[in-house]
Structures are given as C-alpha cells and as structure tokens.
Structure 1
Amino acid sequence: MCIISPLSAQEAISIDSLIKTYKEKSLEPEEKLELLFELSYNSAIAAPERIAYGDTLVDLAKRLNNQDAMMKGHLYKAYAYMDMSDYDQDIQETLAAITIAKSIDSAYWAYLNNHLGFTYSKVNNNSEALRSFRKGLDILLNMENTEYYHLGALYFNFSDFYLRNNQLDSAYKYLELSKVSFDSINNDSHKYFLDGNLGVYYFKKGEYEKAKRLIESGADNSIESRPEAAVEYYNYLTDLAQEQNNYGEAKKYAERAISIGKNIRANSELANTYLNLYEIYLNRNDYAAALEHYKKHKAYLDSAINLPTIQRMANLRNEFEVANKQKEVDLMAKEAEIQSLRANRQRTVSIVSVTVVVLLSLLIFGLFNRFKYIRKTSRIIEKEKNRSDALLRNILPDETADELKENGRVKAKKFESVSVMFADFRGFTRYSEDMDPEELVRRVDFYFSRFDEIMEKFNLEKIKTMGDAYMCAGGLPFPSEDHAARMVMAAFEMAEFVEKVKQEDPDDPTRFEIRIGINTGPVIAGVVGTKKFVYDIWGDTVNIASRMESNSEPGRINVSENTYKIIKDKFECTFRGMVDVKNKGMMKMYFVNGLTEEKKKEVYREFNVTT
C-alpha cells in the first residue's frame, strides 16, 4: 500500500461538468491545461481515459514549453497505469517525469523517486525499489525547507517495503518516523493506513488479536480513498483467519477483497486473494473449486507481471503448472483409493517366490543397461538439438526462429516504421587486393564481431553482411518507439570503435575508415530460402539507406530527412542541402553531430545501457 503525496489541491468538481467544459467550451491554452490537470489526475475517471487526457496534457505542455506541466502529465499517466497494474508503463512514465524534474530542478524529484520505488516493489524488484526510496529520502533530507508530508509518505513506503520483506524491526522504525512526520503538521489523513500497517506488523509478530482490530480499521476506512490498499488489508485478514483455522471468516474476507479489487483491476492483490481461496477450498477438500481459484490466481499474477514479449512462453508455463496442479488435486481426491492399492500391493509382494525375485533381478539389470544406453543417446540428441537451435537463432531473430520451427515457414510481415543502417569501409577493395586472404577475413571479423555486440547492446537486429558492408535494422521483429535514436547511438559507437582502432596504429593498412548511412520508413521482412535460411528486408527504405551510406563521408553518420524528423529533438544535426542521389533525384541529407560526454551519458541512461 502506497501513500501518495498530493501534488495539487483537488476540489470536489463534478466529473461530467469537467468533461463537458473541456469538450464544448472554447478555452485558452492555459485554461485547457488546468482542465487537463484535473481530468488526467482524478481517480474517479477510468484509467484508460486518464491516460488519453495525460497524452493530450503532455502534447499541449510541449507546445507551450511548460516543463512543469509535462512532468505532471507523465506522472498522472503513471498513476493511471499503476491502477491498471501495467507496471512496465508506470515505470517508463515515472522515469520520463524524473528526467524533466531533474532538468528544471523541481522539488517533485524526491516524490517521483518515492513513487518509482513503490512501483518497483510491486514487481518484486527489491534492489531498485530500495535504491529509489533512498534517493528520494536523500533529496528530501537535503532540502532547505523540510516537506513533512512528503517525508511522512516516504517513511511510510520505506516501512511498507520492509514489512513486505519481513524485516520487522526496520518496518516498525520507519512506521514510527512516518507517524512523527505527519503529527508534526497535524495531518490525520494517514491515520488508517498507519493503523493498517501496524496491524500487519503485529500479525507477522504473532499477536493476532491486536493485529485484527488494526487491520480491519485500515481496510474499512481505505475503501473510498485507496481501494487497492483495502484489498491488500483484506488479504492479510484472510491470512490471519486461516492462521486461526477460521476458514469461514477467511472466505468472507477474501470475497470482500474480490468485490473491491475487480472494480479497480488490482491484479497483483487479486492474485494473492485467489491463492488464499485456493488454500481455503483445498483445506475443505473441495478440489474442483480449489483448482478453479488456482487458475484465477495464475491469470491475475501473469496480468500483473505484464511482460508482453514473453507472454506466449508465460502462457505455456501457466498451462503446464495448472496441469500439474490438476494432477496434484486428482491424486489428493483419490488418496483413500491409493492407500487401498498400496495395501494390496504389500500383500502381493509378500508372497512372491524366490524364483520371481531372481527373474525380476535379471529383468532390472537388463532394463538398467537399456536405460543407460537410452539416456546416453538422449543426451547426444539433446546436445545436437541445442546446437542446431543455437545456430538457427544466430541467423534469425528469436520470434522468426520460433515461427520457422513451429510452422516450417515464416510469413512475411510489413513494419510501418523501421530504421535501416548501412556501413562500409572506405577503400576496402583496394586494400583487399594486396592482403593475405586469411588476414583480410580476420580483420573484417574483428570489426564485425564488435558491431554485433553493439547491435545486441542497443536491441537492434543485424540483417546481413556483404563483403565489407554491414547492414542492420531497428524496430523489428518487435516494433518500438525509439529505434531511430538507438540506431544513431549504435552508429556513434561503431564509428568511435573504428576510429579508436585506427589511432592505435595509423600506418597499418588494415586500419580502415567507416562510412555510415541511416534511413527510416516502412519495410517488408521475411525469410528466404528452404535450406540455407536468410532473414532479409526489402523496400524503398532499404534502398535509400544504402544511398545515405554511399553519400556519407568517412567517420560521419549521414541520415535521411525521414530519420532527421524523428531524432532532431535528441541529436544535433547539420543540414547538408539537397544531394543528387542515384535513381532517386535530389534528396535532403543531414550529418548527425557528435555528442558531448554529458549528453552521451544522458542518452545512455535514457536507453538503460552502459557506456
């Protein structure tokens, strides 16, 4: 349960009136901005609608160059995603808000780290949660004017974090610090949350009667203001009742949690609720009902985790676990029958003759030898299978490799926005004529191996190499928003690597200079061949990217107008003018200028990659 610090005073305004005013009245930009604050923040509005209002708020704030409004727009979207249990998007929006808060030296920086820590704790990333909490606390304690409400909220979340991880002494200490902070400003809006978490503390200490009264107070009084917290408190009450073998009361608390949680999509809390119901029905020997609640537990748990790129694998794993749970339930339901069969088997074994024992011994010996042979053969087959699978994934993207293995073919796909890069070495053909073939291959492999590492670092896809030319793409096989910027950063690293190698021994003829060209647009991607599979892309976007490279200069990154429009807010570019391109006519081209060390670190942090 998280205490959210108020960012602005929220008046009791009719939601319908707000929406009607926004849609029907002609408003000045600043007036529209104020309405969007209300509409994107107000928890009485459905989360998807708040996200849409938040998008509009961010766009308007950009046009008005209002950094503070942009920051709040991202934060309000984060709240909405948290209410939908979409923690991945919650974290992304919060990080965007933190970036803006740091740039304008906003006091909200501390609160944003507090919220980020709570979200990380929801996805069980304890190290990141604790780091964010500590960052927020450090900022607050170093402020000239102490923000006691924010401080109380952060201490409370520290306590909640330690409580979840059963570090009870630390949890109690920070709970007391939170109470002191709130009492210092005579603010009692936190009272029931403090009561509820103190009750959880007593519950985990084994003081059940004292715990029950406090947790019930926290649950009953947080339904209106923080229903997600109420669900969590009712889950604790369910656990407490089960500890006291009061399964009827436990079921009542669990059903109360469901009635509240379904209305707010509190998926992670509902996952715990259905797990509790599974245990309750299992204790009653109602195995069918137990299994149904276990399935719901898995469904809500996976919904809370929200990892779309591995959802198919997660579903397969869930089905496997549910199937195992079905077997477990079936075994428990037939326990009496199994016991009877065991007794009969014991009687049968007792009358087996010595001759049968000898024959069984010989049979076991033969089966054991056969088992060893089969196991050895299986290991060889498995090793070769893994090897072939690794080779396939080395030449095809994972998604494409899986589709090829499952269907025997890969359906071509169109991607609306992909960034394509070509890079080649200047004067390579002239050098290759005089070099030993083995040395030539070794040098090219030296460069291309490093390029492959850079592609993996920036989540880009190597397509192929053609002699000294290296081709890669971003935004496939999984579409992404920032593929153009990632491609530019990868191009910088490639150019820096080539230049570094050249500086080590400038007189060595195998120290090449590199030209790089990038274009962004739609492509068709697919696999060609029936035996030697090749993943390739086609389209005018690819041809233009090749022309960008051929019209580039050594050590420079030449981008098309399409790419420039996407990256211009993140990178400084120089317009080269209109350049005559073979088979294309006159085209606009731009050189991407190098980054300062400070700017480079900022971009690396944004992409969450190391320098």
Structure 2
Amino acid sequence: MSSFTVNTTSARIIKWLFLMLLTVFSFQARGQDVISIDSILTLYDEGIVTPDSLNTIYQTRSLTDKEKIELLRVISFYPSSPDCIKNSQTLIELSRKTNDIDGLITGYINLGNALEQEGDFTGSISNALEAIRVGDSAEYPKRANSYNNLGYLYTKTKDYSQAKKYLRRALVLQNKIDSTDYRYLLSMHYNLGDVFLKNNELDSGYYHLQRSKKLASLLNTDQYDPYFEGNLGTYLMKKGDLEEGKVHLLNAAEQMVEYDDPIAAMEFYNLLTDLAQKQGDDELALLYANRALELGSDINAYTDLIDTYYNFYELSEASGDSDKALEYYKTHIELKNKAINLTTVQQMNNLRNEAELTKKEKEVALQELRADRNRTISIISAVLVFLLSLLIIGLFNRFKYIRKTSRIIEQEKERSDALLRNILPDETADELKAHGKVSAKQFDSVSVMFADFCGFTRYSQNMDPDALVKRVDFYFSKFDEIMEKYDLEKIKTMGDAYMCAGGLPFPSEDHARRMVLAAFEMADFVEEFKAEAPDDPTRFDCRIGITTGPVVAGVVGTKKFVYDIWGDTVNIASRMESNSEAGKINVSENTYQIIKDEFDCDFRGMVEVKNKGMMRMYFVNREAKVRSRESGVVSRKGYG
C-alpha cells in the first residue's frame, strides 16, 4: 500500500511539472517548442499526461500534419469527448492526404465508436466496414483489429450472430499475421467471450474469458482485471450462483466508475438489477437500476439504456405502478427500435462480402466488362424496340388494369381492416385508424381470467413441435369461441397460458358473471376432451383463476400492435390461477363479493400469495343459487 502511495504521489508531481512546462512553452515562438510530440505521447502512455492536455497542445501549438495525426489518433479515441466526431473526421482527412494507412484506419474506427455513442448505429458500422476495406486493400499488418472492432459494435446492437462471425475472423487473421501480439489477442478473446455470455453460451464464454486472463498474465498487466471480474460475475450469476456472482459484479461496477468507463459500469449495474430481482430484493434492484440510469443518461448510452428501462418496467409492474410501467415500457421500445434499425447496414455488409475479390479477379472482371460492352449496346437497342412495343400495348390495356388494381386494393384494405380488428377491439382499432395512436384508458371494474394447463411444460419437452402447436391451437381456438359467446375480450396467450378480460373496452355490469360462466364452459371442454382418452398425458387438466378490479388498457408498439392491460388486478388474477387446482375455478374476494348471490362458493381460507401476503380465496362450485321471488327460499341448480 505504501509503494502505491509513493508512486501515485510521484506521478502527480511529474504531471504538475509537465503542465507547468506546457504553460511556459505555449508562449514560445513557432519552431521553438522544446517538448517534442513523441516525448509528450510517451508521457501519455505512462499515465502522466491526460487526453485533455493533449487536446490543449493540439489546439495551441503549431504542428505539422504528421504531428497532428499522432495527436488526433489519441484524442479521437475517447467517444465521450464533445469534439470526438470532428477530430475523427479531421484525422481521416489528414491521413488520406498524407497516405497514412494507420491513421486512416484509426480515424474510421474512432469515428464509428463515436457515432455508436451518439446512437447512430448505421454510421457506426458503415465506418467500421470502411476501416476493414482500407486495411484489407493495403494488407495492413494490424487489420485484424478492424474486424475485432466491428464485432464489438455488432455486440452493442445485440446482433450476436454477426458479432461472433467477425470476432472469430479477427482471431484467425491475427494468429495468421502475428500470434505473439498478446494485446490484440487478449482483446479479441475477451470480446468473443463477452458475446457468448450475453448469448447465454456460458461454457464458450468462460473458455474465452480464461484465455484472455492468461494473455493478460503474459503481458504482466492488471489493467483488465475489473473487466475480467465483471464477466466472471456474469458467468456465475447465469450459472445460478447468485451470491458469488453479485460480489464480483458489484466490485467490477464500482471499479469501472473509478476507471471512468461508465458504459461497462452501466452494463454490470443492469446485470445486478436482474440478479437482485431474482433474489426477490426489489428495493436493491431499484437502487442498481437508478445507478445504471444515472451513468447512462450522462453519456446517452442507447443500447445499454434499453435494458435499464426494461428493468424499470419490470420493477414498476411488480410494485403495481401501472402508469410508470407503461411509460418505461414505451421508452424501452423506442430505444430498442432505434438500436435495431440496421437493415441498411446489413445490406452494406452483404454487399461487402460479395465484393471481396482479389486484384486478379477484379482485373478479369474488368476485361470481361469491356468485352461485353459492344454486345450490351446491341442488346439495349433491341430491348428499347421491345419496350416501345410493350408501351403501346400497355396504353391500350391501361384502363382495364387500373380498374382491376382498384378492386384488388379495395379487397386488401378490407382484409387489412379485418386483421386489425382481430388483433384489437373495434373501438381501439377505429381510434388507431383515425389518429394513428391509441390513448391509454383507466377501467375501474374489469374481470381478468388466467387459464393454464397442468403439466404442460413437462410433457411439451418430449412432444413433436408440430403436434405441440396443433394441440395448443386446438384448445385455444375453442377458448376463443367461448370468449365470443360471452362477449369477453381475449388479451393474449403466453406459452400454455390464456389471458382474457371482461368489462372492456366498453364498461358493463355483469362481466364477472359472464367470466365465471365462460370459465365453467372452458373447464367442461377440457374435461370432456380428456375423458375421451384419459391415459393420454397430453390431454391436460386446466387451472383457472379470476379476479375483479381496476386496470389500465392501451396499445404498445409502432409496427406490431399489441393490445394489453396492466395493473395489480392482472397480477392478482395470475396468482389466483397459480393457486388454483386442476379443474377448479379460483376467485378472489373482490369477485366473490360480486357473484356470491348467483354462484355457490367454498371459502378456502387465507392463502399466502407471493408479494401480496395472505389473501382470501374461493372455489366456485358448478351449482348456482336460484332465489324464489315469492318465498325467498334459496335452491340450487347445476350449470352445464
């Protein structure tokens, strides 16, 4: 510890002396600067000179183009710098002017990283591809790092397939060019391991993590230790060792803040949020999520903010704050759409792969092009004559074609309207067509039902996929018919779970009664189908849960619309289903109070419910109460 203090103090003294010298020599006449650029960059490599100091030198001293390039290679490396994009563009221009391949490639890489920081992923990957093109054309010795950089950028956009492709290519190329450059190999193994961990390929991720740690030991450096520790924590967390993973992730996140790497720190805090949620500590999860948001907001880290806002959505949903949950989910979707809109870049990538020809192949292609030119002119002339004939015929048939096309357009419009009304309630579909968006609405009294098949997960793992889909479709199609019969709204399906609601989009008085009747009909259908072949394990029993209360309903998405509901009522309905039994209909106290005069119910007592404590639950019997108007005597009759 004392050695560390002495070294740090010495470094501060040297840094102070350097800054004093910089101040003095900034007043020297042109050509009389005493400290050379090479010496200054050496001090920077030793951690004595800061990037801000280099930027001051670049702005104040009279420099040659070569000296400017040397400084800009370092200054433009920091994407959080306000002048990073401008400095990277200047570096590209000067390097192209002086034919400096190293500076040109560095400029494209740094410009790409700066644009990624700004959320311009198309520009980011375009510049990374340009760095590869320049490096391959010149057979630049360090060109493998350009592939490494492109793989890293694809990781940020969550396109892990492309990320692995380019990182593997970087490793192969680097080993071919120079297998002793441990610094580049370390970065490539670390990035590849990071991709595998993010894609839940844990064993491969751990393997590359260990390879990068071994290379760091060969370089005799500990500067990468916080990154290693963070990824080790990720591996342990995803393996299920939450406590040990938490220790490593928290230590790594705090060190990343000290290292002034907020993006890495933010990623680890997002993982810590997930870990705390898995442990059921929502208060700690919220603390981690706020820390990630604080770091990300300062630097506009779009890709990492996607995960942060989704964490806030889950936490708000769990706490019952539906309004906040909806806002966080909308922000999550907006950022996600911005990050994933990479169609143009993928096309550029495909074009580049197809254009990877050798110089000899290009020359052959050029000779063939010249040989075909005269023949092409003749073909074009013949085509023009043919097209002119087609034009005359086309004008004759134009009126008929327009009429036919108009009919087709009208039919497609009708099909589109029908499809939209299948996805959304009629009122919601009309509002979306009229205004292009749908306002969220509060409903004070809605009955929500969850239905789930017992043992479905266990048996579905061994079922043929086609048979599995047909079986689920068989059940859910019948459930859809029942929803129409009782004028209820199907919300969505999640695996083998079926969710519906009554009392929206138009409020009604008897939605709880209709929901119970629909639940009985669903249960009867499932039971009758199972009775046909009782030994068939894929003919499942069904659990049903219902509750009644307020919800918020609205539409999310900009391209694929989804009508959904939020609120504590939804969570309670799910708990009613999970605490129900096969063939039974389990209802909450709220629903019981509404239907108790019409349906016979058995009080189950107080039942422990996750995140809710003790709740009163009732099984609804298949007998209904009928009260005689004259005598007031209650009798029973069976439903179905």
Q: TM-score, normalised by structure 1?
A: 0.51
| Distance in 2 between residues matched to 1:18 and 1:155, nearest whole Å | 31
Distance in 2 separating the partners of 1:337 and 1:296: 35
User: Is residue 339 of structure 2 the alignment partner of residue 304 of structure 1?
Assistant: yes
Q: What is aligned with 1:421?
A: none
CA contact (8 A) 1:140 1:146 kept: no
Whether contact under 8 Å (1:272, 1:297) holds in the other structure is yes
CA-to-partner distance for each residue in 1:13-52, whole Å, 9 max, x for gaps?
4555544544454432222222322332234512xx2111
> For residues 100 and 317 of structure 1, what CA distance do their matches in structure 2 show?
49
Q: Distance in 2 between matches of 1:143 and 1:272?
A: 38
Change beyond 3 A, Cα 1:42–1:127: closer
Aligned to 2:130: 96
**Residue number among 85, 92, 117 corresponding to 2:151 in the alignment:** 117
TM-aligned CA deviation for residue 331 of structure 1: 5.8
2:187 aligns with 153
Residue 327 (str. 1) matches residue 565 (str. 2): yes
Residues 68-83 of structure 1 aligned to structure 2 (within 5 Å)? 68-83=102-117
Q: What is the SS of the residue equivalent to 1:189? A: coil
The yes-or-no answer on 1:343 pairing with 2:578 is no
Candidates 97, 106, 111, aligned match of 1:63: 97
Q: State whether residues 196 and 219 of structure 1, in contact with CA within 8 Å, keep that contact through their aligned partners in structure 2.
A: yes
> Residue in 1 aligned with 2:214?
180
Cα distance in 2, alignment partners of residues 32 and 94 from structure 1: 22
CA drift at 1:216? 0.9
- In 2, are the aligned partners of 1:58 and 1:70 still within 8 Å (CA)? yes
Counterpart of 1:252? 287
Q: Secondary structure at the match of 1:27?
A: coil
| Matches of 1:326 and 1:225, distance apart in 2 | 41
Identify if the C-alpha distance between structure 1 residues 179 and 14 changes in structure 2 by more than 3 Å, giving closer, same or farther: closer
Task: Read off the aligned partner of 2:188 and give its amino acid letter.
Answer: L
- For the residue of structure 2 that corresponds to 1:156, the secondary structure is helix
Q: Deviations over 1:425-478 (max 9, x none)?
A: xxxxxxxxxxxxxxxxxxxxxxxxxxxxxxxxxxxxxxxxxxxxxxxxxxxxxx
Cα distance in 2, alignment partners of residues 317 and 94 from structure 1: 40
Residues 1:345 and 1:222: Cα distance change in structure 2 (over 3 Å): farther
Task: Confirm whether residue 37 of structure 1 aligns to residue 73 of structure 2.
Answer: yes
CA RMSD in angstroms comes to 3.5
Q: Percent identity?
A: 31
Aligned amino acid, residue 282 of structure 1: E
Residue number among 290, 293, 303 corresponding to 1:268 in the alignment? 303
Equivalent position SS for 1:41: coil
Q: Say yes or no: does 1:281 pair with 2:281.
A: no
Aligned ranges for residues 378-527 of structure 1 at < 5 Å?
none
Find the aligned partners of 1:150 and 1:120 in 2 and give their Cα distance. Answer: 18
Deviations 1:383-442 (A, max 9, x none): xxxxxxxxxxxxxxxxxxxxxxxxxxxxxxxxxxxxxxxxxxxxxxxxxxxxxxxxxxxx
Q: For the residues of structure 2 that align with 1:61 and 1:210, how far apart are their CA atoms? A: 48
Partner Cα separation in structure 1 for residue 594 and residue 157 of structure 2: 45
Task: Check the 8 A contact 2:321/2:567 in 1, yes or no.
Answer: no
User: How many residues are paired up?
Assistant: 343
Residue 290 (structure 1) shift: 1.8
SS in 2 for 1:245: coil
Code of the aligned partner of 1:112 = S
Query: Which of 255, 263, 277 is matched with 1:242 structurally?
Result: 277
CA deviation after TM superposition for structure 1 residue 213, in Å? 0.7
Q: Distance in 2 between matches of 1:44 and 1:33?
A: 20
Q: Which residue of 2 aligns with 1:229?
A: 264
For the residue of structure 2 that corresponds to 1:327, the secondary structure is strand
Distance 1:271 1:22 in 2: 37
User: Residues 85 and 111 of structure 2 are in contact (CA less than 8 Å); yes or no, is this contact kept in structure 1?
Assistant: yes
Q: What TM-score results when the alignment is normalised by the length of structure 2?
A: 0.49
Q: Following TM superposition, by how much is the alpha carbon of 1:316 offset from its aligned partner in structure 2, in angstroms?
A: 7.0
2:240 paired with 1:202: no
CA distance in 2, matches of 1:341, 1:298: 39
* Structure 1 unmatched runs, 5+: 1-5, 354-611
Measured against aligned partners, the alpha-carbon deviations of 1:340-367 in whole angstroms (never above 9, x if no partner) come to 58736964994799xxxxxxxxxxxxxx
Distance in 1, matches of 2:260 and 2:92, equals 26
User: Is 2:286–2:312's contact at 8 Å kept on the other side of the alignment?
Assistant: yes
8 Å contact from structure 1 (residues 161, 171) kept in 2: yes
2-structure distance, mates of 1:16, 1:28: 20
Gaps of 5+ in 2: 1-40, 346-435, 440-553, 574-587, 601-622, 628-640
For the 8 Å contact 1:74–1:93, the answer to whether it is kept is: yes
Give the match's secondary structure for 1:187.
coil
**Letter in structure 1 aligned against 2:279:** Q
Give the letter for the 2:66 counterpart. E
Task: Verify the 8 A CA contact 1:10 1:38 in the aligned structure 2.
Answer: no
Which position in structure 1 is the counterpart of 2:226? 192
1:550-591 C-alpha deviation (Å, 9 max, x unpaired): xxxxxxxxxxxxxxxxxxxxxxxxxxxxxxxxxxxxxxxxxx
Mapped partners of 1:109, 1:200: distance in 2: 30
Q: 2:76 is matched by which residue type in structure 1?
A: S
Instruction: Name the larger-Rg structure.
Output: 2
- Residues 232 and 269, structure 1, Cα contact 8 Å, conserved in 2: yes
> 1:167/1:309 Cα in 2 relative to 1: closer, same or farther (>3 Å)?
closer
What is aligned with 2:512?
none
Distance 1:345 1:118 in 2: 64
Letter of the aligned partner of 2:556 in structure 1? E
**Could you say which residue in structure 2 is the equivalent of 1:357?**
none
Distance in 2 (alpha carbons) for counterparts of 1:99 and 1:109 = 9
Shift of residue 115, structure 1, vs aligned partner: 1.4
Say if 2:302 and 2:335, in contact at 8 Å, map to a contact too. Answer: yes
**Could you tell me which residue of structure 1 aligns to residue 355 of structure 2?**
none
Which residue is 1:425 aligned to? none
What amino acid does structure 2 have at the position aligned with 1:339? Answer: T
| 1:129 aligned residue (150, 158, 163) | 163
User: Structure 1 counterpart of 2:565, which letter?
Assistant: K
User: Structure 1, residues 237-281: CA drift from partner, whole Å, max 9, x if none?
Assistant: 111111110111111111111111111211121111111121112
State whether residues 195 and 215 of structure 1, in contact with CA within 8 Å, keep that contact through their aligned partners in structure 2.
Answer: yes
- Given that residues 291 and 326 in structure 1 are in contact (C-alpha distance below 8 angstroms), is that contact kept between their aligned partners in structure 2? no
1: CA distance, partners of 2:291 / 2:313: 15
Give the CA deviation at 1:222.
1.1
Matched residues in 2 for 1:133 and 1:211: separation? 26
Does the CA-based 8 Å contact 2:598-2:626 persist in structure 1? no
C-alpha distance after superposition, 1:181-204 (max 9, x if no partner)? 111111111111111111111101
Q: Secondary structure at the match of 1:294?
A: helix
Give the 3-state SS of the residue equivalent to 2:566 in structure 1.
helix
- 8 Å contact from structure 2 (residues 235, 245) kept in 1: yes
